[in-house]
Amino acid sequence: MSHRVPWWLVTCLLSSPVAAQTGDSLPPWVEVDVAARTVQLRLETGAGDSGAALINGHYRGEVQLVIPLHWTVRWSWRNADSVRSHSLVLMVEREKLPTEGGRPAFSNAMSRSVTAGLRPGQTDLTTFVAEEAGWYWLLCGVPDHALQGEWIGLRVDPGATMAAVRSKR
């Protein structure tokens, strides 16, 4: 005996925020609400074995976040490094990584104290709209931290219908 699920039920289940949050391609630090066109990121910067700090366990662009165009991005961020100050800023990808944080790619796409950084244990929240397609760096704005590898990629993709995290390893 075969059991058929109506197409409308499959469509409802696949487009629900719960289905999007539990997708195989998303790590636990990324939550998606398709109906609200929102991506929630829980980010943490911590010391790594290589000397460079890691963003959610990654550095030197090992992963790339993909965000659909015009979606809202909310991030909660914590400096989990017990020694050094850090920050986060979303900057347009250029030929070379910047030596320090500068103007964010989108209004409010940065933590407080971009170049001074937040002390160990401090947290920050921000919300911005991914309003222009392109390639970006999510990096630490403290001088020389990005050059040491403290960055991951972010792409705002006009063809994407769902957020994703892609490994570059």
Residue 2 lies in a domain: no
CATH number for the domain harbouring residue 84 = 2.60.40.420
Place of tokens 């499959």: 10
Residue 87 lies in a domain: yes
Using alpha carbons, select from 81, 116, 122 the residue that is nearest to residue 101: 116
- pLDDT, tens digit, for every residue of 136-157? 999 999 999 999 999 999 999 9
The overall pTM is greater than 0.85:
no
User: Domain tally for the chain?
Assistant: 1
SS3 14: helix
Residue 79 lies in a domain: yes
Residues 61 and 64: their CA atoms lie apart, in Å, by 7
Residue 162 lies in a domain: yes
Q: Note the pLDDT of residue 144.
A: 96
Residue 77 lies in a domain: yes
Residue 69 lies in a domain: yes
Nearest 5°: the CA angle 97, 102, 104 is: 100
**Domain, as residue range, for 91:** 7-167
Residue 1 lies in a domain: no
Which helix or strand (DSSP H or E) is residue 19 part of?
Answer: helix 17-21
